[in-house]
């Protein structure tokens, strides 16, 4: 290698390592060698194993439990029932609202959904606990259950006034419009189905509790445990070094978490409790089933006059979940008249929860299919239809977009896909017995913002440590925070060690709503900047510093070496300098909160979501945007649908690491393909039970289902959205995929399927 | 459910050859290879995703062939040669070509299905089933990845197969 080549390589590596560089995952080597220890893989002395017993009815009372056989089975240490488990205190909810009941029992006497935990067996080994759990006998007084939204007993539900969005006179304008479409769109109950099951290890030492649990929100979950057991927040330590996928499901401490922690306290031994795969379909909520009607009135040129939207989502008998169905409907297109309202309907299910892009995802399925239907009605190209109704500002908030590269996304996606070659008429493209369809849809996700803090330490050997209680579940937090610290401090990435997933580190709010990267790069940027200021201040002023006699105003650090910007005077590595001034470390804590924030406000900021900053705060409306172009092949005889090509152009603002962002985008697109064609929780109508709660019957996309996917970044730095200019990445790309596929299926076959998933019996 | 069932406390003394090392175990006959690896031998690189043979996260090699450790009893594989993700790299830490390609192609996100994907990919290439992207997709379809790294997994297997051929 020549000297020239080496210089070249160095500058390549600098580009790779900087914020915006395509650095490979820094946690990658641990994950590809099996060395990465996930939360409940910790090995503890005296570990016991708990297995849950779930209700086999969906509604009624547990009238009796006979646990004698289980209690005397080999290795069994305890059988916990609603009567024998210790009493817990009620905990406040994720918004910080105080508990509705003073006490909490995670094992149910009153059953409101099938699979609800009613007993737990703790034994010396996992096998013993599994065997003994099968010996627990339960008697019920069963009452009729409302199994799903289509149940005759379900009714119209409860209006959620906070979801109402209205301007103009939508009904009158719709009635008067020369061109009208109105249709109903349904999405089924869907599941996050992370590959790592939910579970935890709980260990008490006196009144100090350590929980090893996969978590999207260490501080929020630690608060819940502290409240359940009536111990100070500081006494709870939550550890979650790697998370095997969350997709919204791992942000809260749940009933099974409480059972494990209570069992550990009662037995005085650490307890491991991992939900088996079927229990992962009933112990926490997936995406609620939804129903929407979308009515659009337009003039003859395709200009929208009115949108009338009504939505319903299912929620639980004893818990509230609102899936905001009007979120995309109200901002995607310009319209002078608009009305959106939403109800929720109680059914016998576990409380539904967040699954990738809650709200935006089903919302986009409605409006993005409807706009395609309107384009077809008018004989307009679906892309042209969207450009005619392009919203130049937020139609709901009536504010300017911070950035909206959607027009650019349409152009770049259409160009790469070859959209101009599309033959407009349905059933007009084919390849032998396969009908070919080209469809498109747009997507969006708001820029959710919050605050976070980070500690950055410069150590005596010149290496850097970043600490935060935020987490990495595959989005690349370890990597982008290393890049941020390295660039800010002027050191190589391999000298930076990022430590995450411990609630005793500097605090962070929830990792959800695609907010973490923007929040935490901001916090690390600030903390690293403070550490750098302190380092340079010390170099300029400390009597032992070789730079002190330079009388310079400032210094710079590059490649881990300190020097004056003009190159005069000494040049020292950070380690040499730390030795010269006799410092062990320089530590700075940076957060993005205003300096006046009180301790109580800080606690609320990190342990509830009540302090999230609205995306329409101030003068701007902040969102990520995308446009998807999809090709499907539908077998004319069998109605089987295969996605054969996807091109998506996305505006996530500035990308902190395009290699990792592209992976997340593709992941969202793939989950969207599953949603469109495969995924559906099927409820048995007699027993209200999820009958396909496993990975063979609840079908996830496999490698063989996924074609080549091209993603194109059209984002520009958005200074209104985050400190470094990024917007959201993780949730964006799933939004709009299902409607793009449904629209492509219509183009291929001439049949509108408005009811996901698009399975073959709906096409033949 | 039958409360007349008596659960035998009988344990077996077995030896398992894992990654070239001998491991002595005292276990009940019902212990799966997966739980023996994870709970008894603390080799947690092999993952439990479903425990029902549906996801592939627990894929290991027995005598060079891919098997699902959750559907294999530990006692069944005594005397066989077992390789797990921890035994794939060389003694000196040099990564297997498949591991290196997974890192380079970003063929994983959360990393939980990854050991199973990599063990499957090594076998897929060895079986001669990595001749085309189409073939790779088909022969890697038994390993689920919810993060959706599939296109990057195909790229990694393609790259590793090419490197191993040359």
Backbone angles phi, psi at B115, to 5 degrees: -55, -40
Q: Which residues in A lie closer than 8 A to residue B111 (C-beta atoms)?
A: 27, 30-32, 36, 242, 244, 474
Residue that finishes a domain, picked among B85, B111, B128: B85
- Check CB contact of B58 with chain A, cutoff 8 Å: no
B108 and B79, same domain (yes or no): no
Distance CA A163, CA A160 (A): 6
Query: Measured between CA atoms, how close is A533 to chain B, in angstroms?
Result: 35
Q: Which residues in B lie closer than 8 A to residue A703 (C-beta atoms)?
A: 136-138, 140-141, 143, 145, 150, 153-154
A676 and A574, same domain (yes or no): no
Q: Which residues in A lie closer than 8 A to residue B38 (C-beta atoms)?
A: 41
Residue that finishes a domain, picked among A256, A281, A306: A281
A101 and A234, same domain (yes or no): yes
End-to-end distance of chain B based on CA atoms, in angstroms? Answer: 57
Query: Measured between CA atoms, how close is B120 to chain A, in angstroms?
Result: 12
Can you give the pLDDT at residue A10?
47
Which segments in chain A show pLDDT lower than 70?
A: 1-13
3-state secondary structure (DSSP) of residue A414: helix
**Residue B35 pLDDT exceeds 80:** yes
Distance CA A459, CA A587 (A): 9
DSSP letter for each residue of A317-376:
TTB-----TTTTTTTSB--SEEEEEEEEEEESSSPP---SSTTHHHHHHHHHHHHHHHHH
Which CATH number do you get for residue B51? 3.10.20.30
Residue that finishes a domain, picked among A281, A299, A329: A281
- Check CB contact of B149 with chain A, cutoff 8 Å: yes
Encode pLDDT of A44-62 as tens digits: 999 999 999 999 999 999 9
Q: Which of residues 66-125 of B touch A (CB under 8 A)?
A: 84-86, 88-89, 95, 99, 102-104, 106, 108-115, 118
Q: How far is CA A232 from the centre of its chain?
A: 29
* Residue A118: domain span: 40-54+60-143+195-281
B32 and B65, same domain (yes or no): yes
Copy the structure tokens of residue A433.
Answer: 């017995």
Q: How far is CA A297 from CA A172, A178, A311, A342, B165, in A?
A: 10, 7, 18, 20, 61
Backbone angles phi, psi at A210, to 5 degrees: -110, 130
A731 is catalytic: yes
The total of structural domains in chain A comes to 3
Distance CA A610, CA A602 (A): 11
A467 and A521, same domain (yes or no): yes
Q: How far is CA A28 from the centre of its chain?
A: 21
Cross-chain residue pair A701–B148, CB shorter than 8 Å:
yes
Q: Which residues in B lie closer than 8 A to residue A668 (C-beta atoms)?
A: 148
- Check CB contact of B160 with chain A, cutoff 8 Å: no
Q: Is A762 exposed, middle or buried (0-12, 13-18, 19+ CB in 10 A)?
A: middle
3-state per-residue secondary structure call for B56-120: CCCEEEECCEEEEHHHCEHHHHCCCEEECHHHCCCCCCCCCHHHHHHHHCCCCCCCCCHHHHHHH
Encode pLDDT of B99-147 as tens digits: 999 999 999 999 999 999 999 999 999 999 999 999 999 999 999 999 9
Domain-embedded: residue B157: yes
Cross-chain residue pair B146–A671, CB shorter than 8 Å:
yes
- Tally the C-alpha atoms within 13 A of residue A284's C-alpha that lie toward its C-beta: 26
Domain-embedded: residue A312: no
Closest CB to A36: pick one of B3, B111, B141.
Answer: B111
Query: Measured between CA atoms, how close is A455 to chain B, in angstroms?
Result: 24
Q: Which residues in A lie closer than 8 A to residue B74 (C-beta atoms)?
A: none
Q: Is B99 exposed, middle or buried (0-12, 13-18, 19+ CB in 10 A)?
A: buried
A630 and A587, same domain (yes or no): no
A441 and A456, same domain (yes or no): no
A132 and A209, same domain (yes or no): yes
Domain-embedded: residue B58: yes
Residue that finishes a domain, picked among A588, A607, A626: A607
Can you give the pLDDT at residue A550?
85
- Closest-CA residue to B120 (of B46, B41, B37, B43): B46
* Residue B43: domain span: 12-85
Asked whether the ipTM of the predicted complex exceeds the cut of 0.90, the reply is yes
- Closest-CA residue to A446 (of A664, A628, A622, A322): A622
Cross-chain residue pair B3–A135, CB shorter than 8 Å:
yes
Closest CB to A137: pick one of B1, B43, B99.
Answer: B1
Q: Which residues in B lie closer than 8 A to residue A28 (C-beta atoms)?
A: 102-103, 108
Domain-embedded: residue A247: yes
| A205 in Cβ contact with A265 (< 8 Å) | no
Encode pLDDT of A633-656 as tens digits: 999 999 999 999 999 999 999 999
CB neighbours (10 Å) of residue A141? Answer: 12
**Residue B158 pLDDT exceeds 60:** yes
**Residue B5 pLDDT exceeds 80:** no
Cross-chain residue pair B43–A34, CB shorter than 8 Å:
yes
Can you give the pLDDT at residue A595?
87
Nearest residue in B to A192, CA atom: B146
- Check CB contact of B28 with chain A, cutoff 8 Å: yes
Cross-chain residue pair B109–A664, CB shorter than 8 Å:
yes
Cross-chain residue pair B5–A135, CB shorter than 8 Å:
yes
| A76 in Cβ contact with A123 (< 8 Å) | yes
B101 and B147, same domain (yes or no): yes
Q: Which residues in B lie closer than 8 A to residue A131 (C-beta atoms)?
A: 7, 30
């Amino acid at each position: 290698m020549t000297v020239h080549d080496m210089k070249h390589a160095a500058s390549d590596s600098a580009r790779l390592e900087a914020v915006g560089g395509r650095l490979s995952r820094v946690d990658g080597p641990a994950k590809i060698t099996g060395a990465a220890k996930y939360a409940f893989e910790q090995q503890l002395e005296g570990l016991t194993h708990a297995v849950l017993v779930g209700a086999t009815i969906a509604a009624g009372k547990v009238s009796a439990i006979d646990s004698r056989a289980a209690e005397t089975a080999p290795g069994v240490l305890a059988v916990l029932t609603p009567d024998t488990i210790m009493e817990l205190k009620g905990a406040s909810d994720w918004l910080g609202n105080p508990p509705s009941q003073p006490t909490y029992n995670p094992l149910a006497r009153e059953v409101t959904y099938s699979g609800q935990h009613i007993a737990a067996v703790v034994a010396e080994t996992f096998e013993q606990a599994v065997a003994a759990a099968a010996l627990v006998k339960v008697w019920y007084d069963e009452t009729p259950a409302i199994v799903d939204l289509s149940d005759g007993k379900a009714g119209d539900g409860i209006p959620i006034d906070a979801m109402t969005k209205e301007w103009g006179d939508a009904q009158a304008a719709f009635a008067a419009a020369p061109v009208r479409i109105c249709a109903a769109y349904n999405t089924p109950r869907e599941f996050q189905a992370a590959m790592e099951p939910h579970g935890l290890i709980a260990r008490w030492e006196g009144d100090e509790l350590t929980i090893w649990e996969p978590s999207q929100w260490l501080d929020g979950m630690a608060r819940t445990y502290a409240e359940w057991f009536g111990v100070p927040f500081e006494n709870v330590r939550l550890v979650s070094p790697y998370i095997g996928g969350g997709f919204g499901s791992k942000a809260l401490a749940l009933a099974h978490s409480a059972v494990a922690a209570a069992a550990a306290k009662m037995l005085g031994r650490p307890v491991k409790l991992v939900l088996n795969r079927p229990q992962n379909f009933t112990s926490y909520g997936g995406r609620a089933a939804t129903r929407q009607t979308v009515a659009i009135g337009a003039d003859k040129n395709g200009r929208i006059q009115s949108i009338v939207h009504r939505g319903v989502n299912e929620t639980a008998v004893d818990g509230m979940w609102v899936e905001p169905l009007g979120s995309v409907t109200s901002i995607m297109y310009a319209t002078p008249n608009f009305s959106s309202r939403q109800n929720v309907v109680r059914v016998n299910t576990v409380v539904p929860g967040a699954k990738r892009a809650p709200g935006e995802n089903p919302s986009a399925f409605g409006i993005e299919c409807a706009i395609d239907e309107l384009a077809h009605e008018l004989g307009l190209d679906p892309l042209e239809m969207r450009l005619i109704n392009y919203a130049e500002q937020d139609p709901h908030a009536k504010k300017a977009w911070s950035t909206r590269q959607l027009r650019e996304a349409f152009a770049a996606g259409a160009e790469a896909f070859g959209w101009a070659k599309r033959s407009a008429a349905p059933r007009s493209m084919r390849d032998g017995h396969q009908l070919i369809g080209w469809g498109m849809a747009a997507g969006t996700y708001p820029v959710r913002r919050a605050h976070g803090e980070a500690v950055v330490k410069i150590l005596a050997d010149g290496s850097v440590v970043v600490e935060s209680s935020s987490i990495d579940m595959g989005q690349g937090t370890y990597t982008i925070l290393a890049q941020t610290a390295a660039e800010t401090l002027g050191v190589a990435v391999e000298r930076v060690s990022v430590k995450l997933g411990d609630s005793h580190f500097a605090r962070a709010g929830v990792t959800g709503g695609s907010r973490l990267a923007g929040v935490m790069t901001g916090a690390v940027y600030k903390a690293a900047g403070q550490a750098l200021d302190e380092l340079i201040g010390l170099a300029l002023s400390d009597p032992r510093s070789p730079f002190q006699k330079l009388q310079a105003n400032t210094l710079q650090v590059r490649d881990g070496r300190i020097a004056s910007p003009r190159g005069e005077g000494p040049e020292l590595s950070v380690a040499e300098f730390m030795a010269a001034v006799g410092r062990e470390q320089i530590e700075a804590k940076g957060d993005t909160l205003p300096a006046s924030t009180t301790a109580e406000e800080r606690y609320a900021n990190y342990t509830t979501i009540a302090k999230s900053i609205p995306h329409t705060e101030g003068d701007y409306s902040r969102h990520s945007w995308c446009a998807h172009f999809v090709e499907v092949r539908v077998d004319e005889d069998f109605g089987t649908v295969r996605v054969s090509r996807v091109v998506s152009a996305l505006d996530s603002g500035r990308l902190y690491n395009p290699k990792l962002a592209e992976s997340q985008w593709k992941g969202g697109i793939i989950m969207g393909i599953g949603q469109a064609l495969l995924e559906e929780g099927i409820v048995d109508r007699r027993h209200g039970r999820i009958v396909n709660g496993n990975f063979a019957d609840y079908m996830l996309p496999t490698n063989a289902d996924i074609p080549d996917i091209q993603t194109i970044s059209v984002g520009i730095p958005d200074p209104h959205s985050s400190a470094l200019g990024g917007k959201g990445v993780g949730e964006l790309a799933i939004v709009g995929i299902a409607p793009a596929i449904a629209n492509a299926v219509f183009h291929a076959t001439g049949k509108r399927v408005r009811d996901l998933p698009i399975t073959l019996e709906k096409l033949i | 459910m039958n409360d007349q069932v008596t659960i035998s406390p009988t344990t077996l003394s077995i030896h398992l050859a894992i990654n070239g090392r001998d491991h002595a175990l005292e276990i009940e006959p019902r212990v799966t290879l997966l739980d023996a690896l994870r709970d008894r031998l603390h080799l947690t690189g092999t993952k439990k995703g479903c425990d029902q043979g549906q996801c592939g996260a627990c894929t290991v090699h027995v005598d060079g062939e891919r098997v699902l450790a959750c559907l294999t009893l530990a006692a069944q594989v005594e005397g066989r040669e077992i390789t797990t993700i921890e035994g794939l790299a060389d003694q000196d830490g040099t990564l297997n070509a498949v591991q290196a390609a997974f890192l380079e192609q970003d063929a994983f996100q959360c990393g939980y299905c990854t050991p199973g994907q990599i063990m499957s990919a090594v076998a897929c290439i060895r079986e001669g089933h990595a001749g085309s992207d189409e073939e790779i997709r088909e022969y890697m379809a038994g390993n689920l990845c919810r993060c959706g790294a599939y296109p990057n997994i195909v790229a990694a297997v393609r790259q590793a197969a090419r490197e191993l051929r040359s």
